[in-house]
Amino acid sequence: MAPQGLPVSSPNHSPKNDFLYAVANKPFDDPRYLPFFKRTYQAVANGIVEYGVSTTPTISVRNLPIIKTGANVAGEGGTGIPNFHFVDRDVDRAYYFFGNDALQLDPIFASHGAKTQFERLVPRITMNCNAQYDWYAESSFDALLNLGLGEAVRDFGEQRCLKELRHRGEMETKLRERRIALLADIKAYNEMSWWTPVTMFTKRLAIKDALAAYAEQSQGGLPDFLLAYNPWPDHFAHFTGPFADEIIAPTGELNRLDFWLSQMETVYRDAGVYNQTLWGMAGDHGLTPIHHIVSPEQVVFDGIEQDHGLAINVRKISSDEGEGPKITHAFDYPSNKDADIIVASTAGGNYMMDLFNSGRGWQVQPLYKELTGWKPPSFAESAPAIDIVSETATRLGDSLDYLVVRERDCDLSACTIRLVRVEGGERVDEFIERQGNKVRYYGEQEGRPQLLDIERPNPYAAALSPDQEAEKQQLISQCIDKAQEDDVSSWCDSTAWQQLTRLTPRPDSVNQLAHLYDESRAGTMNLFPAQGVGYNTKVPGRHAGEHFHEKDAFLGFWGAPVSATPGLGRPLTDRSHPQSMSTSLAYRSRWVKTVGASRLY
């Protein structure tokens, strides 16, 4: 995986993967290891999506609000948060959400008209445990406080949440007993003879008093809707590596997460309402190891200065993964109009470049054709123009999975993007064009496109059955070979692309990239590093790229009314079409962060 011909360094921590190697050689079967997940996979496999997908780029700040609220990123009522960082050209402000800019997430979300799940559920009894986007929750434990203290005071937020849930569970038991007694009293009252008016009057008063007492305490039982967020497997896996002992060993973060999920589930069982509860769990991204680190600033911009004599004014708005947060003045934030290029990187994966040479003005995102004749804005008109796309892709070489730029303007209704990679000195250009729900994926060169591995098998999944292989070949023929440039009706829709790409190493890749630029603030060029490579990081765990393990997402539902029994509701997943659920939420992988419980009456 080592990139050739580039200055490369290594992460500052070497992962200890002893447990991984041990279980690879000999099965590990201990009832104390991941009991919640084992039980869930064994009992409710019908409710777990087989191919979940984290949306591109695979970033918590982008994907968590989608999971927690159900809102899309772009459009009316969207979150308005396309990445961990972006430049808002309308107000000339750059945001980076690891630092005090995190306080701006709620206002950005609200300003786009998005609604929290709690807002939709008023006047239900609701509770939030350590998740953002919690306004209108009846009771809430603060997410940022948990993040700030949780690393030093382990299980800080989890203990607070569980203590409150246990108290509510005990009250739920008492309330259920009172409901049973009230129903019995009401039945007895209705069956009384009108010949006993004094007895009826006394009973009526007793029922009235009992109802008043019940009403006074009824809000103290288990919530109708609970949202809980756990960040720690992801948080620590950055610094240790995703398959390190600190994460997957019996004393690691996944088993710790399993414990807290089990404890929460036990509260609902003990309260006698487990069979009235619908559970859902979703993750916002996965993780993949980093073995080699490359700095695009050093490789691209220093190289351009050396070869072309252009000292580009580059402003970096992010920290490298593994560094500390950044503090931005909340009111007197710096202007970006003196920068030639603004860059930001996230989690060792996605690397974003903003450029400002559109012929339609500083606020407009330039297109590919404009970038091929790019001049640094701070330079005189006499400065030589360079092809910044070619310079970037060529200099990064095989450290780059691919970069993405706008070929034409993008919005929710239509978009055309260009994918570029240079490997072994050969440049490959491919395109994804979207018109409404129809999408075409094709290459500039002859033959089928290759960058998204459409024809390759997935090495992380079981070998395709003959029927699946036949399905895949039929979909490739339908979606690629038969798609005509001038006939949009011949293009495949998003469902067909989802079905095809689930059988590849890059599930849902075409759809995800087709919507990367729905939001205008999603950068000018987005770079995704190759497998095993990290851009601007110091640590061995990466996400935000397009490799399988950082895209693979857990999404599952179980409990009432999930059932495979005829007459008790249809199964939530069709195993022959396992992607059927994965378009309505943003998802996350094995490093699960979010669990919700919803009481059904």
Instruction: Note the pLDDT of residue 50.
Output: 87
pLDDT greater than 90 at residue 155: yes
The number of residues in the chain equals 601
List alpha helices for 191-231, DSSP H: 197-217
pTM of the model: 0.90
| Host H or E run for residue 528 | strand 525-529
Please tell me what DSSP assigns to residue 589.
-
Percent of the chain with pLDDT over 90: 84
CB-facing half-sphere around the CA of 79: CA atoms within 13 A: 28
Query: What is the pLDDT at residue 401?
Result: 98
pLDDT value at residue 381: 77
Q: Distance between CA atoms of 242 and 590, rounded to whole angstroms?
A: 10
Assigned token pair, 352: 């974003």
Strand partners, 374: 386
pLDDT in tens, 420-475: 999 889 999 999 999 999 999 999 988 999 999 999 999 999 999 999 999 999 99
Give the residue with greater pLDDT, 145 vs 582. 145
Q: How far apart are CA 54 and CA 552, in angstroms?
A: 6
**What's the confidence (pLDDT) of residue 563?**
57
Residues 238-289 have pLDDT tens digits of 999 999 999 999 999 999 999 999 999 999 999 999 989 999 999 999 999 9
Top-confidence residue, 400 or 576: 400
Orientation of helix 35-43 relative to helix 253-270, angle to 10°: 60
For 485-542, write each residue's pLDDT tens digit. 999 999 999 999 999 999 999 999 999 999 999 999 999 999 999 999 999 999 999 9
Structure tokens at 83: 């990445």
Average pLDDT over residues 95-99: 96
Q: By the 8 A CB rule, do 553 and 282 touch?
A: yes
> How are strands ordered across the β-sheet holding 414-423?
314-316, 341-345, 351-355, 525-529, 400-408, 414-423, 426-435, 438-443, 492-493
Is-cis flag, bond preceding 366, omega within 30?
no
Each residue's pLDDT tens digit, 554-599: 999 998 766 555 443 333 333 222 222 222 222 222 233 344 444 3
- What per-residue confidence (pLDDT) applies to 562? 66
Domain locations in the chain?
411-516
Q: What is the pLDDT of residue 590?
A: 27
Q: Report the alpha-carbon distance of residue 400 to residue 525 in Å, rounded.
A: 13
The Cα 462–Cα 472 span in angstroms is 15
Residue 589: name the closest of 200, 58, 154, 114 by CA. 58
Check residue 573 and give its pLDDT.
32
Residue 293's contacts (CB-CB under 8 Å, 6 or more residues apart) are: 8, 9, 10, 11, 348, 533, 534, 535, 536, 537, 538
**Tokens (6 digits) for 418:** 């260009």
**Amino acid of residue 3:** P
For 208-212, the CB contacts below 8 A with 24+ separation are: 210/178, 210/181, 210/182, 210/185, 211/182
Q: What is the rounded CA–CA span in Å between residue 235 and residue 10? A: 20
- State residue 561's pLDDT score: 65
What percentage of the chain reaches a pLDDT higher than 70? Answer: 93
Q: Characterise 482 by phi-psi region: left (phi > 0), alpha (psi -120 to 50), beta (else).
A: alpha
Only one residue has tokens 């109708």, namely 224
Q: Is the pLDDT of residue 397 over 90?
A: yes
Residues 403/405/410/416 CA torsion (nearest 10 deg) = -80
Give the Cα separation of 91 and 93 in Å (integer): 6
Arithmetic mean of pLDDT over the chain? 91
Closest to 438 in 3D by CA, of 481, 406, 368, 485: 485
The answer on pLDDT for 71 being more than 90 is yes
In this predicted model, what pLDDT tens digit does every residue of 299-317 receive, in sequence order? 999 999 999 888 899 999 9
Return the pLDDT at 439.
Answer: 98
Report whether 41 contacts 526 (CB < 8 A): no
Q: Which residues pair with 457 in a beta bridge?
A: none
Strand 341-345, strand 314-316: pairing = parallel
Lowest mean pLDDT among 80-84, 148-152, 578-582: 578-582
Cβ–Cβ under 8 Å, residues 497 and 479: yes
In what helix (H) or strand (E) does residue 276 lie, and over which residues does it extend? none
pLDDT digits 0-9 by tens, 186-237: 999 999 988 888 889 999 999 999 999 999 999 999 999 999 999 999 999 9
Q: Are 376 and 353 in contact (CB under 8 A)?
A: no
- Residue 596 belongs to what H/E stretch? strand 594-599
Residue 462's contacts (CB-CB under 8 Å, 6 or more residues apart) are: none
pLDDT at position 482: 97
Q: At what angle do helices 156-190 and 197-217 cross, to 10 degrees?
A: 170
- Provide CB contacts within 8 A for 473, sequence distance 6+: none
Phi, psi dihedrals of residue 292, rounded to the nearest 5°: -135, 135
